[in-house]
Structure 1
Amino acid sequence: MGRVALLYCLVLLAVSSHDALQGEASKEDFSWPRAAVPLLTDRSTVPLQNPEFEAGGSRDPGPMCGIECQGRLPAAGRVELERLLSYETLYENGTRTLTQVSLQDFAPPAIQGRRAGLVRRKRRVYGADGRFVIADEHYATSYPFAACVKISTGCSGILVSPQHALTAAHCVHDGRDYLRGSGRLRVGVMKLRARGRGLGRGGAKGVERGHTPEGRDGKRKRKKESRRDRVPRGVAVGAEPKRPVLRWTRVQQTFIPKGWMNDVGGHVAPDYDYALLKLKRSHRVKSMTLGVAPPLETTLGGRVHFSGFDDDHPGKVVYRFCSVSQESGELMYQYCDAQEGSSGAGVYIRLMEPGGWRPRWRRKVIGVFTGHRWVDVNGTLSDYNVAVRITPPKFAQICHWIHGDPNQCQPV
């Protein structure tokens, strides 16, 4: 395990050094831009009929419109965006509501579509597998990997606050109904737990520091021990090392945009394939910061990162990074290696935070990985792994779900 951790550190060090050198060369090109975020407020809320929870999984979405096709589609205006950004709230007791929203200070999207010259083919893992399994317990439970969460329906997600996890909408809803199991949804956060029992002052056999069978002789001997030899307070003698395990928390509320339920031609569009889960309790884990996705051709070669719980590595956090090949106003197309189970993972980039006497690098979640899709490119099907971009209106909506106060919903 030590060799694996060392190799992993060397890889990350090389990536970070490369980014830092690029940042020194042109800090303005690799700094977080200041995005204009519209003001989103609730207009009305009405109760809906309780869901059936009958959907068995996401329907086959079929081929999706490619970059060329999307470039010919008109951008959604304010009225259409208000309809798409209206949202359902599913509560823990099975009830749900529909909330209509209003948008102010809305600006049209800056990206109409960009295509790189790279064309590759076939499946979710492209060529040599470029994923990194975070096997070391200290890395798996440390930032940024600790912000990666597991959804009980089989997906991944990302903590964007101590009490909120961002994931894909199709992980809880197929576009028509909520999935079976989403009525009792849970989110797993990776925490360290001792392998053996007997932790704490009342250990398994009452054996802890200072409590030895020798009685007074044992106490006298303990006074002669050096600090280095002493067992830390609260750890039983002979206890095994800790290991990372998932600590599960029930979901209190689920928020899904109506844009995901906008059924066109029998298929759901991936543009709004995201959902926010409010947990019943907060976690003492450093969460990721939510951000607005900038044009990626100017940001470190369009490199994106995300971690998830891929099914072929059960119980392990799997990290990967790659460059975005194409992007539209709503989506990012890339070849990051991924397997089933990674859907819903938070896609983030690392840019320099401007301002202050010493600018620093900062990670922000700028998308949600939705999985593998076939894309119609001028009549030819090409396969990509697709992620939803967090645009200024989507940022305003997700931030509103988290804080409920539009005054707190400007990018930081």
Structure 2
Amino acid sequence: MGNMLFWSILFISGWALSDGSETEPDFTWHLSRVPQVVSEKTIRLASPTFRADAGVVKATACGIECQEALPTPSLSQLEDSLSYETVFENGTRTLTRVKVRGLVLEPTQNRSVKGARPRRRRQVYGTDSRFSILDKRFLTNFPFNTAVKLSTGCSGVLVSPNHVLTAAHCVHDGKDYVRGSKRLRVGVLKMRNKGGRKKRRGPKRSPREAGSDGHSQEHPQESTTQRPGKKSRRGPRVTQGRPSFQWTRVKSTHIPKGWARGENGDPALDYDYALLELKRAHKQQHMELGVSPTISKLPGGRIHFSGFDNDRDDQLVYRFCSVSEESNDLLYQYCDAEAGSTGSGIYLRLKEPGQKNWKRKIIAVYSGHQWVDVHGVQKDYNVAVRITPLKYSQICLWIHGNAANCAYG
């Protein structure tokens, strides 16, 4: 009864206040024309080996202080970083060169907020402020039902009926694609009827044979590659009222060249995002993309995200917190999060222009823990990659296949 009362208070009153309220009319989504990212040329690359370790991030992070000293990237440098690799389910790979149109280059400006407290290296500290979403009334409804789990152990968010946004390092370590990403699957939590899984007609198929139609009802450890050092936890069949994952094969994966630099350079944290195209669309709600506003435009200065933290055994975990620092491409915060939540979509709830209703949009991708140099002092944060106007255009191009549908964001 106490938990039900807590959730009722959180969602009926506190949720709206923490996520934008009627008393904050200035927090509005402002659509504006964004630069266009246009595909120019696609070439075929050698197939990857899929040998990298999942969950290992070795990205270069310039940090907040050095953003001021960095020269403004040239147009050709931006186009090179925004060019992208696509790896398909059969293991083949391509590189697509892009052109950027309508971009006005301005000097790089740092927009950091001072006064962040240093802390020891840990992702959950002090009082754990995360909430496990256990009630099926919330678990299967928006916005929580947009959160998904990857078979490589990360999280992601549905941004179209058949596209998932996640962190690039969940499928690629900057040099090669991780083990298990060749047969990558995405799991959506569903409520099962009494009796567990539906009976199959015909002979039983193996995990590799199952999913040729796009979907699999298997337990994640039965249908995916096991994570290194992770023991299999095959539980009992799902009973009535219990959630389980419906797994869908991934048709293709897009990663910006700014991350997938191969042997010629280290991956850049600014480009730690990827888009997965599902083999078969889900009948599931998704969350639209939005261009990341500055801290001053965040209701209460807060961000929100939900993912599948490893320490809570396939439970969906929600959290919100204030942003402590920001740079042009990153948000630095102290949201409690454990491994497994990386790749989650960070969202805001702002007012629709000229309307009374409110709308949630994805404005960043949670990348994980990083050490950052701030005014000569090493600080550690949980970092998110912002969806800038250029990244919005690129991801929109991946989703729609052309730049015509991506003029405003």
Same-fold status (TM-score > 0.5): yes
CA distance in 2, matches of 1:352, 1:71: 32
Which residue does the alignment assign to 1:175?
174
Which residue does the alignment assign to 1:85?
82
Structure 2 counterparts to residues 311-330 of structure 1, below 5 A: 311-330=310-329
Count of aligned residue pairs for this structure pair? 370
Displacement of 1:56 in angstroms is 1.7
- SS, match of residue 46 in structure 1: strand
CA distance in 1, matches of 2:105, 2:143: 32
Q: Say whether the 8 Å CA contact 1:82–1:101 is kept in structure 2.
A: yes
Q: Deviations over 1:117-166 (max 9, x none)?
A: 12131210132110000011221111111100000000000000110000
Structure 2 counterparts to residues 150-161 of structure 1, below 5 A: 150-161=149-160
Q: Deviations over 1:197-249 (max 9, x none)?
A: 5989xxxxxxxxxxxxxxxxxxxxxxxxxxxxxxxxxxxxxx96332111000
CA distance in 2, matches of 1:26, 1:199: 47
1:295 partnered with 2:294: yes
Which residue does the alignment assign to 1:118?
116
Which residue does the alignment assign to 2:12?
13
Q: Say whether the 8 Å CA contact 1:291–1:411 is kept in structure 2.
A: no
Letter in 2 for 1:367: A
Q: Say whether the 8 Å CA contact 1:162–1:287 is kept in structure 2.
A: yes
Q: Deviations over 1:357-408 (max 9, x none)?
A: x421110000000001111123321110000000001000101000012121
CA distance in 2, matches of 1:390, 1:264: 26
Distance 1:392 1:61, change over 3 A: same
Which residue does the alignment assign to 1:389?
386
- SS, match of residue 120 in structure 1: coil
CA distance in 1, matches of 2:281, 2:57: 35
CA distance in 1, matches of 2:116, 2:140: 36
- SS, match of residue 261 in structure 1: coil
Q: Say whether the 8 Å CA contact 2:60–2:266 is kept in structure 1.
A: no
CA distance in 1, matches of 2:105, 2:384: 20
CA distance in 1, matches of 2:318, 2:340: 13
CA distance in 2, matches of 1:135, 1:55: 34
CA distance in 1, matches of 2:143, 2:136: 13
CA distance in 2, matches of 1:300, 1:6: 25
Q: Say whether the 8 Å CA contact 2:176–2:262 is kept in structure 1.
A: no
1:49 partnered with 2:46: yes
Which residue does the alignment assign to 2:202?
none
Which residue does the alignment assign to 1:194?
193
Q: Say whether the 8 Å CA contact 1:58–1:173 is kept in structure 2.
A: no
Q: Say whether the 8 Å CA contact 2:175–2:261 is kept in structure 1.
A: no
Q: TM-score, normalised by structure 2?
A: 0.85
CA distance in 2, matches of 1:198, 1:326: 46
- SS, match of residue 9 in structure 2: helix
Q: Say whether the 8 Å CA contact 1:71–1:113 is kept in structure 2.
A: no
Q: Say whether the 8 Å CA contact 2:291–2:388 is kept in structure 1.
A: yes
1:335 partnered with 2:330: no
Which residue does the alignment assign to 1:103?
100
Which residue does the alignment assign to 1:278?
277
Q: Deviations over 1:3-26 (max 9, x none)?
A: 434422311333344258x75445
Q: TM-score, normalised by structure 1?
A: 0.84
1:241 partnered with 2:240: yes
CA distance in 1, matches of 2:253, 2:140: 25
Q: Say whether the 8 Å CA contact 1:166–1:274 is kept in structure 2.
A: yes
Q: Say whether the 8 Å CA contact 2:351–2:357 is kept in structure 1.
A: yes
Name which of structure 1's ranges 283-292 and 297-306 shifts more when overlaid on structure 2.
297-306
Which residue does the alignment assign to 1:68?
65
Distance 1:195 1:379, change over 3 A: farther
Q: Say whether the 8 Å CA contact 2:321–2:335 is kept in structure 1.
A: yes
CA distance in 2, matches of 1:262, 1:243: 43
Point out the structure with the larger helix share.
1
CA distance in 2, matches of 1:58, 1:198: 30
Query: Which of residues 374, 377, 400 in structure 1 aligns to 2:397?
Result: 400
Structure 2 counterparts to residues 346-365 of structure 1, below 5 A: 346-355=345-354, 358-365=355-362
Q: Deviations over 1:79-122 (max 9, x none)?
A: 21110000000011100100000110113478532123121312
Runs of at least 5 residues in structure 1 that lack an aligned partner in the other structure: 201-238
Displacement of 1:192 in angstroms is 1.1
Distance 1:192 1:58, change over 3 A: closer
CA distance in 2, matches of 1:7, 1:262: 47
Runs of at least 5 residues in structure 2 that lack an aligned partner in the other structure: 200-237
Q: Deviations over 1:12-57 (max 9, x none)?
A: 333344258x7544523x1112233111111000000000111123
Distance 1:264 1:298, change over 3 A: farther
- SS, match of residue 311 in structure 2: coil
Distance 1:77 1:278, change over 3 A: same
Q: Say whether the 8 Å CA contact 2:38–2:99 is kept in structure 1.
A: yes
CA distance in 2, matches of 1:76, 1:273: 18
* Aligned-residue identity in percent: 50
Name which of structure 1's ranges 69-78 and 146-155 shifts more when overlaid on structure 2.
69-78
CA distance in 2, matches of 1:339, 1:68: 26
Letter in 1 for 2:398: W
Q: Deviations over 1:323-356 (max 9, x none)?
A: 110011100000000001000000001111112x
